[in-house]
Copies of this chain bind each other. A is one copy, B any other.
Amino acid sequence: MIWAVILAGGSGSRFWPLSTPSNPKQLLPLAGPQSTALQAVTRLDGLVPRERILVVTGAGLAERMITELDLPRNNVLVEPRAASTAPALVWATWEAQRRDPSAQVLSMHADWSIREPDAFRHTAAQALSTALRHKRLVTVGIVPSRPETGFGYIVQGKPLDEVSRTVSRFAEKPDAATALDLMASGALWNSGLFAWTATVLMDEVRQHTDEIAPHLPLLEKGDVAGFFAAVTAVSIDVGLLERSAAVAVVPGRFTWDDVGTWDALPRVRSRDSHGNAVVGPVYLVDTDDCVIWSDGDPIIASGVKDLVIVHAHGRILVMPRRQAADLKAILDKLPPEVRDLP
């Protein structure tokens, strides 16, 4: 049966001051009226029922996730510590296999915006089919819409069948010129949407992931805390996909965004006729291409362009959109009593 694993950890400080440790990015309605986490679950309707959706998150968010996503309590897996994506996905896949030895797993993140859910489900089904048929770890590669330097790329290899190919190599976040070359040569964005059977995933981890493989017996004993304490933090890309020969890629032709920063908001929300993405009581005069969000007081902006302006949790942030990716560095310069939010 098909299972879904949704990675929903992370504090999301890149949406400060709207995102807080107790109300992080994935619980915010960034890309519409629902939180992106709820959108992630809703998007699976008709493909994966709630009882086969596993959510991996931190201890502080477990109750919020159960409520927000209306999931069975034991489908929310609480990571003892954040150890990047590989340990989380191995644990969740192992858990799916424990409940269903023939589990096929779709893995995704809780903070995505995807505009075409039908195309998403269609591609996910193709990826699962490829995973099953070719016994491979399948990544969905998004057809790029711009030479984005903030994503990794998948360079495609030879065809496996009508929809899937081998992976020639993974390219890390490129510089601008390389991104253009990659896009022109048909490389795809590495979205983080994966499909595999539990059997193949566990076999490949045992072969390639020294950071995790020696500690699998702890998991098999049910000692999750011991497993997380023992493993080395490593991403599924670096720790497994870049090492395994049994990788495949299926192209995804839907609009995908990881809503990584304030700057991404105009890509995933409707904009006014001046290109502004606006949420809350906001009044604009001659203002273009701004991102303005108020959970608090009315914001009146006039004559500005390309700014992020946010009022939330008793803080007001003003910065150029091009600095949005550097927000952590800005926050590091603030006194803790100003920066830290509950």
Contacts and interface: CB of A to CB of B under 8 A. Distances in A.
A46 interface: no
Contacts of A184: none
Contacts of A301: 317-319
Interface string A316-331: 1111101100000010
A285 B320 contact: no
A297 B319 contact: no
A80 to B, nearest CB: 34
Contacts of A334: 283, 300
B316 A304 contact: no
Contacts of A323: 302-303
Given A281-B338, A298-B338, A335-B283, A318 B318 contact: yes
Interface string A267-304: 00000000000000101010000000010111111111
Nearest to A313: B297
A304 B307 contact: yes
Contacts of A311: 297, 311, 316
A333 interface: yes
A318 B330 contact: no
Interface in A44-75: none
A17 B283 CA distance: 14
Contact of A300 (B298, B303, B315, B320): B315
Contacts of A29: none
Contacts of A300: 17, 315-318, 330, 334, 338
B285 A304 contact: no
B330 A285 contact: yes
A146 B307 CA distance: 32
A314 interface: yes
A158 B294 CA distance: 60
A78 interface: no
A309 interface: yes
A26 B241 CA distance: 68
20 contacts: A283-B333, A283-B334, A283-B338, A296-B297, A298-B315, A298-B316, A298-B338, A300-B316, A300-B317, A300-B318, A300-B338, A301-B317, A301-B318, A302-B320, A303-B322, A303-B323, A304-B318, A309-B316, A311-B316, A318-B318
Interface of A: 17, 281, 283, 285, 294, 296-304, 307, 309, 311, 314-320, 322-323, 330, 333-335, 338
